[in-house]
Structure 1
Amino acid sequence: MMSMEMIGSTPTTSITDLKANPMNVIEKSKELNHAVYLLNRNKPVAVVMDKEKYEQMTELIERLEDQVLYAETEKRLEYIKRNPDIETYTVEEVIGRPLSEVDYDPEDDEWE
């Protein structure tokens, strides 16, 4: 039987319990809707969570990163508007061809 302690609001279990029954730790994480700290000699060394929770977390992180980038871009554009002496360049000046001729694959996040 897996012992479940808490560090703050985060459930914990030992690596020994993980080795004995890995699915039990994953199911407990899913049941609690919370990651579980893995302890080695009573110190947190890793985190276990179910796949759905992990995917939700990474999707949220990606959305937040997009929002931060958007806000930074808006801030920079506003700064440029307020400081007309700043030298700016067109896409053609930077990459040597019109933007309409540039292929961008959002899946790879690469410019070609």
Structure 2
Amino acid sequence: MPILELDVVCLCAQWCGTCREYAQTFEQLKAALPGHRYRWIDIEDEADVIGDVDVETFPTLMVAHKGVVLFAGPVLPRLADAQRLLEAQVDRWESGNHRPVSGLPDDQFLAYTELARSL
């Protein structure tokens, strides 16, 4: 079990075939790395939860720790990739790199930060 508990949020839509495929991978990820908090959010059913987050590619993962967004972006539905992503974020944080994700447009950085802080 990791020392650092991350918030791992999958932003998907029921109509998205790739998201439906990713649901199994997300469950496997939860089983493989159980020390984190996982949340599956259907962007249409829970639009009020995601606020102004604009999901362009499915599935999209957000990884955060205590309201700091460490990663936000699309992922391929492969378990090994998701595991490496989480392990890299834990290593990054534990090495002292507590900077939030960069590369998002300002409005999306704020939207993802609001979502992370609401968890």
Q: Return the TM-score normalized by structure 2.
A: 0.24
Write 1 or 2 for the structure with the bigger share of helix. Answer: 1
Rg (Cα) greater in structure: 1
